[in-house]
Amino acid sequence: MLDYGHGGSDPGAVYKNRKEANDNLILGQAVAKLLRAAGIQVDETRTTDKTMSLIERSNAEKKKKYDYFISFHRNAFQPEKAAGVETFIFSMDNSKSKGLATAIQNSIVQCGFVDRGVKTANYHVLEKTNSAALLLEVGFIDNTSDNKLFDSKFDTIAKMIAEAIILNFGIKTLEYCIKCGQKVLNN
Q: What is the pLDDT of residues 107-142, one digit of tens each?
A: 999 999 999 999 999 999 999 999 999 999 999 999
pTM across the whole model: 0.92
Alpha-carbon distances of 47 from 28, 30, 106, 142, rounded to whole Å: 9, 11, 27, 24
The CATH number covering residue 101 comes to 3.40.630.40
> What pLDDT is stored for residue 103 in this prediction?
97
Number of domains in the chain: 1
> What pLDDT is stored for residue 94 in this prediction?
86
Single out the residue of 139, 149, 7, 162 nearest to residue 70, CA to CA: 162
Which of 61, 86, 137, 163 is catalytic? The answer is 137
Mean pLDDT of the chain: 93
Q: Is residue 160 helix, strand or coil?
A: helix
Q: Give the rounded distance of the alpha carbon of 61 from its chain centre.
A: 16
Give the domain range for residue 15: 2-185
> What's the CA gap between 126 and 185, in Å, rounded?
34
Is 80 one of the catalytic residues? no
Alpha-carbon distances of 87 from 13, 97, 137, rounded to whole Å: 17, 10, 6
Q: Are strands 182-185 and 174-177 parallel, antiparallel or unpaired?
A: antiparallel
Q: What is the pLDDT of residues 140-185, one digit of tens each?
A: 999 999 999 999 999 999 999 999 999 998 886 555 444 444 554 4
Check the CA dihedral 68-74-77-81 and report its sign: positive
